[in-house]
């Protein structure tokens, strides 16, 4: 059964009628540009093939009524205008935040998803954008990608308490399948880059799920703000390495800032590597990004470092791998030749997953998806 069929069937079982439609939003993987979105930096994410589906139908009255098919068919029912965040934050917080942003009324929703949760693949932004699309269709309104993304960011900030940047929401709202999205987080300008046909983007899980990491995330964001303040600039987008070294900052704050300026530069270089079809250059950038996230930004964990090292050894010079997403566990992303992907996955199964009894849950993305010969 496809995700859409499952969501339709869940809607019928919960509400006893057919939905009027089903909205979908993908998850995302970030190729490079990590922890720079809230510093007005450049990021290069890619929508993935898993996502969230929301079956919807209009109904009489003003209430929003929803069922979460993946969370024990939990239900929620409220008036959007007077909704309050659910404590502790869970799927209902996102639902209520999006309903208020969209001013949703008289709608029934059934939600189901295929994104791995706690993997750094943005299941929450995917949920918000899918909800926004369903509410837009039900309310016969047509928000822009940017409006939807900003609404989803408010849901994350004010309804779930995570002070995230705008990358995930924009990647999911505006990204096109098989294309990397270059997003300038300073002005939200976007450009799509088709990935070369013979490259594959492979996502594998470390088995360490992220959880309760909001505190660490908000702390890193705060470090970056302290650095910008000390340098007398609006954001680290305006900094460079010489400026940071000359400023006599606290060493930890300086290391955070050096990651950010290095990572923004690497993201711009990754765009050139994609345009030049240069897998070796792309791989070197991914490896450098990981080292910086591990050593300067300190958001990796030992299991993920080990997986990245094994992945880089298995890939060799034609490509590379790094942690992806907010960090503290979750998935890694690798870019490599599409025809090398099946063997790469088999090597990681043998060297990482089997000894740990962990599941890699490999996902092959990018235009090379159909070339890699694995049906996922």
Which residues participate in catalysis according to the annotation?
168
Q: Which residues have C-beta within 8 Å of that of residue 289, sequence separation ≥ 6? A: 32, 34, 263, 266, 322
SS3 call for 292: helix
Rounded CA gap, 51 and 172, in Å? 9
Residue 7 or 124: the one with the smaller Cβ distance to ligand GLA is: 124
Strands ordered across the beta sheet of 331-337? 319-323, 331-337, 199-205, 363-365
Least distance in angstroms from the C-beta of 327 to ligand GLA: 7
DSSP reduced 3-state for 142? coil
Alpha-helical runs (H) found in 164-213: 167-174
Q: How far is the CB of 236 from ligand GLA (least distance, A)?
A: 13
To ligand GLA, the closest distance from the beta carbon of 45 in angstroms equals: 9
Pick between residue 59 and residue 188 the one whose CB is nearest to ligand GLA: 188
Q: Report phi then psi at 326, rounded to 5.
A: -65, -25
CB of 44 to ligand GLA, least distance (A): 11
Q: By C-beta, is 79 or 89 nearer to ligand GLA?
A: 89
Q: Which residues contact 81 (CB under 8 A, 6 or more apart)?
A: 100, 103
* E strands present in 42-101: 42-58, 63-68, 74-79
Distance in Å, CB of 256 to ligand GLA, minimum: 13
CA distance readout (Å), 352 to 209, 219, 293: 16, 31, 21
DSSP β-ladder status, 63-68 and 74-79: antiparallel
The residue (of 64 and 185) whose beta carbon lies closer to ligand GLA is: 185
d(CA 249, CA 50): 42
Output 137 or 152, the one with its CB closest to ligand GLA.
152
Q: 43 CB contacts (<8 Å, ≥6 apart)?
A: 30, 32, 33, 34, 36, 37, 167, 171, 182, 183, 185, 267
User: What distance in Å separates the CA atoms of residue 215 and residue 218, rounded to the nearest whole number?
Assistant: 5
Residues that bind ligand GLA (CB under 6 A): 30, 34-35, 37-38, 122, 164-165, 167-168, 325-326
Q: At closest approach, how far in Å is the CB of 38 from ligand GLA?
A: 6
- The minimum distance between CB 239 and ligand GLA, in angstroms, equals 17
**What residues are paired with 229 via a beta bridge?**
none
C-beta closer to ligand GLA: residue 11 or 38: 38
- Rg, Å, the chain Cα set: 21
């Amino acid at each position: 059964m496809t995700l859409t069929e499952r969501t339709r069937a869940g809607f019928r079982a919960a509400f006893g009628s057919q939905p009027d439609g089903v909205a979908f939003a993908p998850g995302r993987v970030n190729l490079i540009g990590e922890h720079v979105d809230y510093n007005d930096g450049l990021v290069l994410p890619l929508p993935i093939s898993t996502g969230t589906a929301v079956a919807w139908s209009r109904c009489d009255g003003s209430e929003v009524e929803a069922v979460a098919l993946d969370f024990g068919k939990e239900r929620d029912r409220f008036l959007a205008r007077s909704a309050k965040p659910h404590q502790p934050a869970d799927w209902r917080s996102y639902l209520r935040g999006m309903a208020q942003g969209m001013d949703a009324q008289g709608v029934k929703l059934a939600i189901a998803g295929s994104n791995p949760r706690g993997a750094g693949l943005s299941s929450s932004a995917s949920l918000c954008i899918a909800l926004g699309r369903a509410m837009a269709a039900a309310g016969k309104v047509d928000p822009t990608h940017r409006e939807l993304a900003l609404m989803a960011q408010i849901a994350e900030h004010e309804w779930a308490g995570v002070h995230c940047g705008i990358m995930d929401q924009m990647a999911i709202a505006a990204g096109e399948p098989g294309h990397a999205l270059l997003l300038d987080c300073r002005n939200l300008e976007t450009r799509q880059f088709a990935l070369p046909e013979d490259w594959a983007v492979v996502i594998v899980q470390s088995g360490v799920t992220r959880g309760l990491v909001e505190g660490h995330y908000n702390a890193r964001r705060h470090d970056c703000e302290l650095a910008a303040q000390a340098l007398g600039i609006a954001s680290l987008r305006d900094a460079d390495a010489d400026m940071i070294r000359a400023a006599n900052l606290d060493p930890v704050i300086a290391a955070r800032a050096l990651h950010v300026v290095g990572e923004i530069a690497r993201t711009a270089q990754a765009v050139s590597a994609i345009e030049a079809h240069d897998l070796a250059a792309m791989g070197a950038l991914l490896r450098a990004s990981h080292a910086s996230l591990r050593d300067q930004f300190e958001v990796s964990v030992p299991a993920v470092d080990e997986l990245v090292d094994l992945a880089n050894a298995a890939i060799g010079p034609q490509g590379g791998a790094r942690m992806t997403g907010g960090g503290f566990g979750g998935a890694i992303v690798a870019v490599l030749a599409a025809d090398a992907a099946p063997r790469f996955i088999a090597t990681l199964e043998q060297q990482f997953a089997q000894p740990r009894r962990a599941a890699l849950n490999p996902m092959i993305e990018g235009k090379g998806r159909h070339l890699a010969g694995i049906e996922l």
